[in-house]
Amino acid sequence: MIVAAAVPRNSRGRFYHIDCGPGDLAPYILTTGDPGRARRIARRFDRLTVRRHNREFLTYTGIYRGIPISVMATGIGAAPSAIAVVEAAQCVQPATFIRLGSTGALQEHIALGDLIITSEALRDENTTHYYAPPEVKARAHPQVTAALERAAEELGAPYHVGVTCTAADFYAGQGRLIPGFPTLEPEKVARLSRAGVLNLEMEMSAYLTLAAVSTFRIRAGGMCAVFANRLTGAAVFGQKNLHAIENRLIRVGLRAVEILAEED
């Protein structure tokens, strides 16, 4: 490994963590924490041209309905998501990142399987604070948000648009009361819900913040499928309809890429 460079490369000349270099990524990049979801997205491509797998990072590049497209699995959390953005941006510019994730809803009227399109993410993690001061808002690019909304409308997918909270942890960081470990803010879910926040997840603010402050031509946005409602206690973890919900998320995400490609 070459360690002197600001962005390290491996022995093949590719960027160290994602194992990709210039030419390996398309300008439209779907991202997800789950490598299984990345594989399911890639199976919808008409043709695959690149496959890379290193550590938690799994990348496929190919063609979808005539559009060059990539999907990247980055693992859980803002820190690996930031690594993915930094290294991917060295490979392709301009770049559009669209996160397709899972989430817990914070409003009672949001049903399991609904999609939540993020307009802004609260930066309740520490990764992005190394890139931008706290007053910088993590706002989704309006073109990406509009494309996701239009795609959801066209496909008849129930959706909501609003503020997301990106947390640094799944358990105490999201106000869960867990056996054997302290939770310092057990009222976090109630506090965020009263403030009108729609959902909790763990990656969105990384994409939106880095896109906002980068000197490269980057835009970012995203949406999550609701796997749980933190107020009602309803959840689909381990249930058979989990993949049906995920398929809705994927269909809307791919349609949004088509819309953006038409506009670009």
In tens, the pLDDT along 217-254 reads 999 999 999 999 999 999 998 777 888 999 999 999 99
**Per-residue pLDDT at 2 exceeds 80:** no
Class of the CATH-defined domain 28-263: alpha beta
Q: Tell me the two tokens of residue 56.
A: 């938690």
Q: What is the mean pLDDT of residues 155-166?
A: 98
User: Cα–Cα distance between 2 and 26 in angstroms, integer?
Assistant: 25
**Per-residue pLDDT at 3 exceeds 70:** no
Amino acid at 170: F
- Pairing of the two strands 95-105 and 67-73: unpaired
Looking at residue 240, what is its pLDDT?
74
Looking at residue 241, what is its pLDDT?
81
Question: In angstroms, what CA-CA distances link 91 with 43, 129, 139, 144?
Answer: 23, 24, 24, 21
Residue pointed to by tokens 């381990």: 238
Check if the beta carbon of residue 77 is closer than 8 Å to that of residue 168: yes
**Per-residue pLDDT at 62 exceeds 60:** yes
**Per-residue pLDDT at 41 exceeds 50:** yes
Q: What is the mean pLDDT of residues 31-58?
A: 97
User: Cα–Cα distance between 61 and 29 in angstroms, integer?
Assistant: 9
Looking at residue 4, what is its pLDDT?
47
Amino acid at 58: L
Q: What is the mean pLDDT of residues 154-162?
A: 98
Check if the beta carbon of residue 197 is closer than 8 Å to that of residue 164: yes
- 5 pLDDT tier (thresholds 50, 70, 90): low
Q: What is the mean pLDDT of residues 77-94?
A: 98
Residue pointed to by tokens 């000349």: 13
- Is 0.85 surpassed by the pTM of this model? yes
Q: What is the mean pLDDT of residues 69-98?
A: 98
Q: What is the mean pLDDT of residues 24-50?
A: 97
